[in-house]
Structure 1
């Protein structure tokens, strides 16, 4: 397999604006097929990929023998069902985050992945961005000494769009499944640490969380540190992650929507030394993700985010939800 033929299940806006374009532009990949009944939505994809094959339903795309891999950008509550169906159809699978809504579902995905010998993983694009790779390298090198504290903030305001799937409980909405996966998973990935104790405060509207503040004790290879995370769908846009160590701090700007929210940068501040800033203006994390996926299924090249990694983040989400302290209204 020299070129991976990709099929996309559903004409989601995110797929149209980001991932389908990344597949189309990636080396070793071909945007081959799309499943949608909506001709207008199909035309929007064909505008940049004229030869795109259109299937009228998801099952037809999965039955297409020329499709090698499937990208799934469906609403959260459909991720597990269609990941399982894609694996059963003999396809490699890249599914949007969160790939599941509870740990047991990811265990089922892992079991089918292993029995089929196919590759399935969560579309956790930030681990393919050089900003995060550089941050992890600096932490592993001990550039700021042992990490003592980390904090993450990710917020946006979508209150004006009540029909958005993120605002609906029946589609797996809420700030925690939507962006908590980034706030929690990124710090886990960069430090190798896992939560040993968690407390959270959560605000909800219409059955979905719109604000969550988390305080955790994390245990990693270099020891224990405290961690604070805030996610919200009702605050002005903000994105930042900070690691504070014995000898300084590392701060990441635009750590989750690099290039859209702002320029991806890594700042290292150490007492008595000049502030050090590294910038990554042209990095393409979605394209990098597609190319890494292709190298993995073609050559067995290492891939930085597994179903087991996604399971660890979901386990932390479960701890967050189980440890809630009510707000005093």
Structure 2
């Protein structure tokens, strides 16, 4: 079977360091082309893919009939526009998160996906990591008892980098859009539940961008408390606390970068049980699963409908802030 030929829109740092390399390494994929405003920006990509085709215009890349799929790492406010353009050009699309800035925008995305006959998804790579598959298995086994509380923190400090797109309102920056996707999406992914209400939303802003937020939420069978921040030292953890035990993921969101992915269960039925995944690259797994869906029709763990639910929770948090 021929590999899926990929084009990348933009020479973003994240694409250069992670996703373009993942496409290049993934089975069933070929990193074929990049579009960037300057050919000089393509040089670091050509260093590991010498045969890379380079365009200086996004539309030219989309017009190339040899390209099957497009990865979009553009600033957040451009995601919906270019995802739809790529679908209309007959390309499958993997777009960085958040793929949209409001739940209502998913109507356009899903309609464009369905009418094009192509596949589109948000790049929610953690869903492809085996630590999350295992977390769901442990929770469903009942070893933790009844789930009472899910607690998570995801933080880093980019306060000194004022030009970073995450710190700029005109590029739809903010911690909720950038990393709240992981905090909210991870709890939905593992539990399969949706929030009933947001009890509290404590959000701090700088220059019109949210840089810190604490969320208290009620789910049908448990409570949630989560913090995301772009003004705190690096920290990641995700804990599921039940009536009989608890389970913690120590590097849930940047496994292999923040730390080694590790899942720890402390419960009478398992005593203290630790599982580790030191060599798994969830970016590569994400690309391979995407290609399998495109070529074989394999079920994809996080379609647009899943991503819509995460955005709906984000919208609920912002709405609660405005009503406070």
Common topology (TM > 0.5) = yes
8 Å CA contact retained: 1:153, 1:230: yes
What does 1:178-197 align with in structure 2 at a 5 Å threshold? Answer: 178-197=178-197
The answer to whether the 8 A contact 1:252-1:264 is kept is yes
Following the alignment from structure 1 to structure 2, what is the Cα–Cα distance between the partners of residues 276 and 325? 43
Q: Quick check: 1:2–1:298 contact (8 Å CA) kept in 2?
A: no
Within 5 Å, which residues of 2 pair with 1:28-177?
28-177=28-177
Gaps of 5+ in 1: none
**In the alignment, is the contact (CA less than 8 A) between 1:201 and 1:212 conserved in 2?**
yes
Alpha carbons of 1:235 and 1:3: their partners in 2 closer, same or farther (altered >3 Å)?
same
RMSD between aligned alpha carbons?
Answer: 1.2
The yes-or-no answer on 1:274 pairing with 2:283 is no
For residue 299 of structure 1, the aligned residue among 271, 296, 301 is: 296
Tell me what 1:262 maps to: 259
- Partner residue in 2 for 1:230: 227
Cα distance in structure 2, aligned partners of 1:227 and 1:65 = 47
TM-fit CA distance, 1:187: 0.4
Contact conserved, 1:200 with 1:325, CA < 8 A, in 2?
no
Deviation at 1:136, TM superposition (A): 1.1
1-side partners of 2:41 and 2:141: how far apart?
A: 47
> Which 5+ residue runs of structure 2 have no aligned equivalent?
none
* 1:195 partner SS: coil
Alignment partners' CA distance in 2, 1:152 and 1:107: 30
Give 1:218's aligned residue: 219
Instruction: List per-residue Cα deviations over 1:182-212 (Å, max 9, x = no partner).
Output: 0000100100011111020100000000100
CA contact (8 A) 1:167 1:174 kept: yes
TM-score normalised per structure 2: 0.98
TM-score, structure 1 normalization: 0.96
Report the Cα distance in structure 2 between the residues aligned to 1:80 and 1:326, rounded to whole angstroms.
27
Partner of 1:318: 315
- The alpha-carbon deviation at position 326 of structure 1 amounts to 9.2
